[in-house]
Chains A and B, each alone.
Chain A
Amino acid sequence: MRRLCFAAGLAILLLQVAPAFAVSDPSELLANPALEARAEAIGSHLRCLVCQNESIEASDAGLAKDIRAIIRQQVVAGRSDKQITAYMVQRYGTFILLRPPFEPLTVLLWGSPVIALLLGAAIAFFAFRRQRREAAASAPIPLSPDEQAKLEALLRS
């Protein structure tokens, strides 16, 4: 019970931690909260080209700051999320997308769960088949007609 309470408390604590955004200058933010939320959503799906494991929203790099500003300009100008993302991909390639698209280069990445499943199924299939064969091989040898007659005689007596 105590452990459960601890886990629940930890979960609540973790849920309250807001995603860490690197926006340190409030003047970077858009006044309209809806537009700002859209800009943040777009930026959090784009990779910072300098730090490479951080999103544009989370990074403190100068380039990320510039790209944040461009996203906000375009959001205000009324461009769609798709258009803004396409603008970034045109300049930096699909590498800028934190969620890689399905393309020839990423077939192995996206296909790995299927490959793992097929591999597992094949292993299971051969393992079961071998088990069944071994079970068949170790089954008792049937009695010869002679032995059968002896057994029947014993049972009858």
Chain B
Amino acid sequence: MSAQMSQKSMLGRRVMLGAPLVVLAAAGGGWALMLRRMAGGNFDPHSLPSQLIGKKVPDFDLPGLNGGAGITGAELQKPGRTMLVNFFASWCIPCLEDAPMLNQLAKTGLPIWGITYKDKPADTEQFLSQHGNPFGRIAVDLPGRVAINWGLYGVPETYLIDASGIVHWRYAGALTQRVIDEDLTPLLHRLGA
């Protein structure tokens, strides 16, 4: 009886010693996976889910860049085709990385409209002449209040809107080839764009 007991408590001791090691190994594995996904651009611990997903964009009316046509909420609530809306600014460093990606997407025929965030029109003009202009239309949000109504928390941010005006996807940060191939392109195929 007592021999059996001591054998049982030996086993218990072994479990008690082993459990922390197992927990530590699991935590290490999870950590390594997170770092790998962060390095690949598939995971950003600071990224927030957009509250606009599955909804239409809020009402707004912004003037165009230097007398060009502006953008209203009503137009994006029923655009009639799948399109992207990109918030950007000339002062924004990641926007430099975003620009070639947007140019590449625009070449595929995907309509992209731009909204400048807290950017002086003259600076925007210079940015576009230097880095290309993929935008079908550009509106100016100098006070940045429309951006807050969209739930924007940084630039660049890219929104995918379907023909009926529903927001399907929001990407915060510069688009990468990987994000385009793995996230955006399959979504565009699903929406038939």
Contacts and interface: CB of A to CB of B under 8 A. Distances in A.
B23 interface: no
Interface size class on chain A is 10 to 19
A64 to B, nearest CB: 10
A134 B7 CA distance: 13
A56 to B, nearest CB: 12
A17 B188 CA distance: 54
A30 interface: no
Interface string A134-145: 100110000000
Interface in A129-157: 133-134, 137-138
Interface of B: 1-2, 5, 46, 48-49, 51, 118, 143-145, 148-151, 153-154
22 contacts: A49-B154, A50-B153, A50-B154, A62-B118, A62-B144, A63-B144, A63-B154, A66-B143, A66-B144, A66-B145, A66-B148, A67-B148, A91-B51, A91-B149, A91-B150, A92-B51, A92-B153, A93-B48, A93-B51, A133-B5, A137-B1, A137-B5
Interface of A: 49-50, 52, 62-63, 66-67, 70, 90-93, 95, 133-134, 137-138
